[in-house]
């Protein structure tokens, strides 16, 4: 289910809190899109993607934590890749890598950002260096490196 509302009268600080709360409460995604509203005012389209079972809770979140007076929602079809997490050893330490598969074949691998960032800061190297090391370690473990 996608739940949406347009807002043109809310303090920008509230949006971060709203996203944190939506994700904490089980939203699959939450994002903000700039829109032009009536009377030519800039506004924000707030969109929350959630399971049907969470629809009412997310509507309540928007109605109580924002300045909106109403929300709209509609069902959407969704297709996602099968995902798993594997840990790889790098010279910067162990890094988790999110792996996405399609028809049993790995099509994407993404080192865990927070772990790469922490390792980069600790080692005094660029974040991209740690990410590359984690990807290389993953590919090597798969026989591709």
Residue 143 has pLDDT above 90, yes or no: no
Q: What is the pLDDT of residues 94-112, one digit of tens each?
A: 999 999 999 999 999 999 9
Q: Is the pLDDT of residue 123 over 80?
A: yes
Q: pLDDT tens across 19-74, in order? A: 999 999 999 999 999 999 999 999 999 999 999 999 999 999 999 999 999 999 99
Question: Which domains does the chain carry?
Answer: 2-74 (3.30.70.1380), 82-141 (3.10.20.300)
Residues 6+ apart with CB under 8 A from 93: 119, 122
Q: Is 111 exposed, middle or buried (0-12, 13-18, 19+ CB in 10 A)?
A: buried
Is 42 in contact with 8 (CB distance < 8 Å)?
yes
pLDDT band at 18 (very low <50, low <70, confident <90, very high): very high
Helix (H, G, I), strand (E, B), or coil: what is residue 67?
coil
The pTM for the full model equals: 0.77
97: β partners? 86, 111
Give residues with Cβ within 8 angstroms of 60, minimum separation 6.
Answer: none
- Interval 82-96 mean pLDDT: 97
Model pLDDT, residue 98 = 98
Count the helix, strand and coil residues of the chain and give each as a percent rounded to the nearest 5: 40, 35, 25
Q: Phi and psi for 77 in degrees, rounded to 5?
A: -90, 145
Task: Report, as an integer, the average pLDDT of 5-27.
Answer: 97
Query: CA-to-CA distance for 130 and 1, rounded, in angstroms?
Result: 37
């Amino acid at each position: 289910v996608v739940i949406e509302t347009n807002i043109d009268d809310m303090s920008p600080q509230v949006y971060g809190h709203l996203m944190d709360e939506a994700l904490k409460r089980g939203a699959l995604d939450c994002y903000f899109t700039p829109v032009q509203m009536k009377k030519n005012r800039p506004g924000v389209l707030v969109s929350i993607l959630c399971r049907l079972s969470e629809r009412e809770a997310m509507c309540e979140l928007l109605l109580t934590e924002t300045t909106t007076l109403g929300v709209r929602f509609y069902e959407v079809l969704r297709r996602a890749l099968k995902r798993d997490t594997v840990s790889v050893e790098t010279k910067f330490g162990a890094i988790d890598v999110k792996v996405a598969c399609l028809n049993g074949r790995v099509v994407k691998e993404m080192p865990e950002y927070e772990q790469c960032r922490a390792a980069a800061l600790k080692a005094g190297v660029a974040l991209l260096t740690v990410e590359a090391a984690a990807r290389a370690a993953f590919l090597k473990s798969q026989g591709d490196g």
